[in-house]
Chain A
Amino acid sequence: MTISFQNISKMFAQNTEREVAALGNITFDIQENEFVSLVGPNGCGKTTLLRIVAGLIKPDTGSIVYPPGMPNPNAIMVFQDQGLLPWLTVSKNIGLGLELQKVPKSSQKTRVHEFMKRVKLDGFGEHYPHELSGGMRQRVALARAFLTDPDILLMDEPFGALDSQTRIILQEELLHIWRTEQRTVLFVTHDIDEAILLSDRIIVLTNRPGRIQRSIQIPLARPRELKIKDHPKFVEIKWQIWNLLEQEVRKDLQLT
């Protein structure tokens, strides 16, 4: 049950005469229930890749090949922020995915209710997003995405707009949900620690146009705890990734 990304590239029109390559020829596979993070310098096309997988934009070349068992692949995106509709209450926001995917009303209700209980959001059902903190809003966004049973979950820096303490707690929360609700995940982040803590594999991208620079397996045992950040292997990988990224960032800043 492998999902393959084959030769995906994308150009963007910067103005009428010039086009900028955002993504150059990306090819990789992702196994079922594998957690893969994409890290790379700003503007390397990480988000573009996610948007292509989510079906929000079309690639210029290449394709995504789903296994034969997935005729209508469900690729669901968790946005960095603003992913909740402000005019819907928390429970309606969580149910939005099911509603749009035409799940019968009665089973919508029970599934929303049960899931809210499991992720400890019950009691907030009638609140509106603006009444919640940024961290709470992202918990709701995560719940909504998991609830639609996605074949692949796409996360675009879901904790990027949060303060570092809240981010750590939500990383643990995501690990916890993911342990029980195994899913294939493609996770975009700037945060190297976050990527190592969460992932089975990290794909490091180059500067624009983004290409795969290195694919790194994370051999740390699961279930993982925050303390794993002190593990010598964790620290080693962290420096390995930083060395790869540093060159790219320096190139971008003309500091080489």
Chain B
Amino acid sequence: MANMEPSGTRGPQRLTANMNKNTKSQQQNNNRDRMTTWGLVLGLLIIWEFLARLKLISPIIFPAPTLILSSLLKNLLIGKYNENVFISFSRVFFGFLIGGGAGMILGLLMGWSRRMRRVLDPIVAALHPIPKFALLPMVLIMFGLGESSRIVMVSIGAFFPMLINTMAGVVQVNPTYYDVVENYGASRFDTFWKVALPGSLPLIITGARLSLRSALTLTIGVEMVFGNNGLGSDLWLAWETMRMTDMYSTLIIVSVIGLGSNILLERLKNKLIPWHQEIRPEDD
């Protein structure tokens, strides 16, 4: 009978043992798959290059990758993107700071206080599904044609993902952790700083990533509409003047900003929550 007891410790240990056994071959598999990915991308680019050079596809719509690359390098060298990268990046940054910051604070409050959650959750649930870009005319009327309208739009985009994830983060903290500190006589203040905040960090960081992505999307969109500066206006101008190499090279710059901020947040995550075990390998 005693040997049939289910075990809490054996599971994880067995997992570790398996991992150790498989590490080498898994590593080889991972490497092989990674090589395949790069090979696939490279292959597609080569096919694209040939089709464009042989004019089998319209070189106006699909300029050869080598042309895009040389245009990108040339533009980088003369510093063509510098100003607009700085402008767009500032908008993403300040929008993320204002909207994401407000979202995090409200999210913590709503997660912490059941009363606040009950009062505000229906309002959040009603506002959240509105496509944020649809608010542009309203924001323009309220904040005018200047920079503030743009920052407000980006902030609105950054606000909701942060709010919803932070709130969920506080709510999903295992209630036993609250019992533990309460049992030792923790004050409300202690309980917040020692349990609610650290316990919700993994989801806050997920919120930050989604929030940053939303900020970037709205920045580019707003810039396309305003059209006077920023990478979004570059993209729009390239379409208007049919300079497709410019369009693709700007697109590459925008992608690099998106990827770069993701990588930065991933680094930050490892620093902030070294204790966190990823349960799902992909969470978005």
Residues of the A chain whose Cβ atoms lie less than 8 Å from the Cβ of B13 = 133
Interface assignment of A67: CB less than 8 Å from any CB of chain B: no
Total residues of chain B contacting the partner, CB 8 A: 32
Interface residues as binary, A39-76 with B (CB distance below 8 Å gives 1, 0 otherwise) = 00000000000010011100000000000000000011
Whether the pair B275, A79 counts as a contact (CB closer than 8 A) is no
Interface residues of A (CB under 8 A from B): 51, 54-56, 75-77, 79, 81-83, 85-88, 96-97, 100-101, 128-130, 133-135, 148, 161-164, 166-167
State the main secondary structure of chain B at its contact with A.
helix
Whether the pair A87, B201 counts as a contact (CB closer than 8 A) is yes
Whether the pair A97, B184 counts as a contact (CB closer than 8 A) is yes
Q: Whose C-beta in chain B lies nearest to the C-beta of A85? A: B177
Q: Whose C-beta in chain B lies nearest to the C-beta of A163? A: B7
Whether the pair A86, B180 counts as a contact (CB closer than 8 A) is no
- Contacting residue for B8 out of A55, A81, A101, CB 8 A: A81
Known: A82-B174, A87-B273. A162 touches B7 (CB 8 A): yes
The stretch that binds A, out of B21-29, B143-151, B191-199, B247-255, is: B191-199
A-B contact pairs, 30 of them (CB 8 A): A54-B179, A55-B182, A55-B183, A56-B179, A77-B180, A77-B183, A83-B176, A85-B198, A85-B199, A86-B276, A87-B198, A87-B199, A88-B275, A96-B180, A96-B181, A96-B194, A100-B185, A100-B186, A101-B184, A129-B275, A130-B277, A134-B9, A162-B7, A163-B6, A163-B7, A163-B8, A163-B9, A164-B3, A166-B9, A167-B5
Known: A51-B179, A166-B9. 13 other contacts (CB 8 A): A54-B179, A56-B179, A79-B176, A82-B176, A85-B194, A85-B198, A97-B184, A129-B275, A130-B275, A161-B8, A162-B8, A163-B6, A164-B3
From 173 to 227 in chain B, residues with beta carbon under 8 angstroms from any chain A beta carbon are 174, 176-177, 179-186, 190, 194-195, 198-199, 201
